[in-house]
Amino acid sequence: MLHASAFYRCAGPNCGVMKGASDRWWIMWSSMEQDVPVVHLAPWNEALAAKESALHVCGEACAQKLQSQFMGNVLANRLQATKG
């Protein structure tokens, strides 16, 4: 069970802001569905935040940067697979 004293740091590239009382935070995670990589985004939720795969995101700018990284990784992996 998660305690109220949990600390969260933004996973956004070059961010690292610690979560305070703001309700503007988001949770992101990725998964594979039918052999396709998928990125998920949800408003802050303590249960989701406690999951091992959760990325804690302080706002829209960091969420966009993480989405961009995800998309770049997917494309790079597809390119690598076609060369291999």
- pLDDT value of position 69: 96
Residue 46: what residue type?
Answer: E
Task: With respect to residue 62, please indicate whether it lies within any of the assigned structural domains.
Answer: yes
Question: Which among 6, 13, 20 is positioned nearest to 65, based on CA atoms?
Answer: 13
Task: With respect to residue 69, please indicate whether it lies within any of the assigned structural domains.
Answer: yes
10 pLDDT above the threshold of 90: yes
Task: With respect to residue 37, please indicate whether it lies within any of the assigned structural domains.
Answer: yes
**Which structural domain range is residue 63 located in?**
26-83
Q: What is the mean pLDDT of residues 22-34?
A: 92
Task: With respect to residue 44, please indicate whether it lies within any of the assigned structural domains.
Answer: yes
The whole model's pTM is what?
A: 0.84
Burial 32-68 (b: 16+ CB within 10 A, else e): eeeeeeebeeeebeeebbeeeebbbbbeeebbebbee
Task: With respect to residue 33, please indicate whether it lies within any of the assigned structural domains.
Answer: yes
Task: With respect to residue 19, please indicate whether it lies within any of the assigned structural domains.
Answer: no
- pLDDT value of position 84: 66
Task: With respect to residue 17, please indicate whether it lies within any of the assigned structural domains.
Answer: no
Q: Domain tally for the chain?
A: 1
- pLDDT value of position 4: 55
Residue 9: what residue type?
Answer: R
Q: What is the mean pLDDT of residues 38-65?
A: 96
